[in-house]
Structure 1
Amino acid sequence: MLTRIIKFDVKPEQTQAFKTAFLKAKTATEAEAGFDEVRLFVDKSDAHKFFAYERLQSEQADKLHRDQPYTKELFDFLDSSETVATPLSVSDTVPAPDHSRLPNPEDEDFVIFFIFKIKPEFRERLLAQFEKHITHTKNEPGNILFDLYTIDGVQDELVVYEHWRKESDVWDIHFHQPYAEETGALMEQAIVGDMKQYMHLVTEVV
């Protein structure tokens, strides 16, 4: 399995054209046998910042995807519009991602990308703590998914990707759990700078 998160910084005048171009390619991509998931999100605090989340079955599936005319068309648009794309190839941690739980029709589907810099000496402690944290979090009724990823070739950065049924499940319930408070205390020591600067609250673009 290959997982990729791509951040797009789009020029304001190109925002609508970017969404149109990406969603056109997305529709075609979803028909590819080797492509399990492709989703696009926009940052709630910056209408010109987007995040794509992609999961593919293999390197071969990725090569086939890149060779498709609609993929090349999207890449051409990114170049011509001077959109800055920052791809992150990420790897699963323990416990492995489980995307079997689905939102209910009434859910808000509150989504967060948390891409944060860490002091390298805290890396192993954080991975161990998140193993416990995620195991407990997935038992919370309000949680849909909670994944932690390492970034390939990068030792001082981690990624959390999470979905919740509604926003209050995060602020009013999750953050007050003992294991979340324990993780938070460790994060205060381990993260470089202010945690808030790394948190992106996003809405899916459909």
Structure 2
Amino acid sequence: MTTENWHRITCKAEYLVKCADVFFGDEGGSSIATTEGEICGKFGDQTLSGSWDWDGDYFYRTSMLGKLDLGSDWIVIDVTATKMRLTLEKGNGPQVVYDRKDAPLSPTAETDEIVFLSSFDIKHEAVEEFTQAMIDNQTAVRAETGSLEMRLFQGTADKGVFFVFGRTDGQAGLAEHIESVAERGIEGDTSAALNSKPIARHLGPAIAGGQYLALDRSAGADEMIVAAVFDLKPGTRDALVTQYGKQVPNVRAHSGCLSFNAYTVLGAPDQLAVVEIWESEAVARAFSTTDKLSVETGKLLTASVDGDIGSYLSPVTEIAPYVAG
């Protein structure tokens, strides 16, 4: 009888390197805990969603399976080269063993690149220090061989709002990024600046395909950039995805639109993410209020979002853009 060579994971840095962004599961389904703290998966016909962090010696998770609230738990994590064992209630509860799966995290159309959008709410007295830390981190990320794009945005009106948009070259690029982030310790360095826990999102394939700007482009002085994650009323996302399948190429055809991308959010069936860059706010506003399909899309979006749509659409400014040469 073969004895399994189990190894216990005792810290977040080790979990990020060995377990994050990898699917584990059984014949009933599989799930993934992402680098940015998201849990998502599918078991039978039920969607698993939630968040995770590390607390002391334990993997700490809060999750839901379909409409069933699984609550929070502190879990002992043990692994082999091919399996993960979870022992609930700090090692004193039920135990389950999952196999490591080979499913990709978030393949986009025609590529295996992984796309993410994270947001931060920063204390105003810490904005300057946080900004510099993120610029330094961005410089390091851009030097990673698997990094395809890394952009940092700051709210134009509310300077404490930050977004990070990134793309990595598949699982290999992501693995390099995970190890690099753990080595730099950026999470610990910036934790005191946070008003609340960062929200990390892995995005699904870009609707109608991705449109990405040259890394070394020269940004115009009047450009308007919007990075928005819409919280939707239950059951409305599918109709919006269909609508954006028409709207995305319609917007891109306008000469004043420099880039327009819309995404579903993995593990969040009631969210839609949009990142758009326009020649100017005036051009964007004129198009959205006079183009027939844009007006139709705006009405559907307004009816679908949870809350006031204006609260989602605050412009942002890119910090430390790529430089030619």
Q: Please give the alpha-carbon distance, in whole angstroms, between the structure 2 residues aligned to 1:95 and 1:73.
A: 36
Per-residue deviation, residues 135-184 of structure 1 (Å, max 9, x unmatched): 11101000011111111111111111100111111112233200101101
Q: Secondary structure at 1:134's aligned position in 2?
A: helix
**Is residue 151 from structure 1 mapped to residue 151 from structure 2 by the alignment?**
no
1:19-98 aligned at under 5 Å gives the runs: 19-68=131-180, 72-82=184-194, 84-98=197-211
Name whichever of 192-201 and 144-153 sits farther off: 192-201
Q: Which has the higher contact order (CA 8 A, sep 6+)?
A: 1
Q: Secondary structure at 2:143's aligned position in 1?
A: coil
Q: Secondary structure at 1:88's aligned position in 2?
A: strand
Q: Is the 8 A contact 2:203 2:266 kept in 1?
A: yes
Q: Give unpaired runs (5+ residues) of structure 1.
A: none
Q: Which has the higher strand share?
A: 2
**TM-score when scaled to structure 1?**
0.91
Per-residue deviation, residues 56-79 of structure 1 (Å, max 9, x unmatched): 111232221121268633122123
Aligned with 2:122 (options 4, 7, 10)? 10
- Aligned twin of 2:238: 124
Change in CA separation of 1:44 and 1:26 when aligned onto 2, cut-off 3 Å? same
Q: Is the 8 A contact 2:151 2:164 kept in 1?
A: yes
Aligned with 1:172 (options 286, 311, 316)? 286
- Aligned twin of 1:188: 302
Aligned residues: 206
Q: Give unpaired runs (5+ residues) of structure 2.
A: 1-112, 321-325
- Aligned twin of 1:204: 318
Q: Is the 8 A contact 1:145 1:164 kept in 2?
A: yes
Higher alpha-carbon Rg: 2
Aligned with 1:136 (options 234, 250, 261)? 250
Determine what percentage of the aligned residue pairs are the same residue: 24
Change in CA separation of 1:89 and 1:106 when aligned onto 2, cut-off 3 Å? closer
- The amino acid of 1:24's aligned partner reads D
Q: Please give the alpha-carbon distance, in whole angstroms, between the structure 1 residues aligned to 2:281 and 2:166.
A: 24
Name whichever of 94-103 and 84-93 sits farther off: 94-103
Q: Which has the higher helix share?
A: 1
Shift in Å, 1:101: 6.5
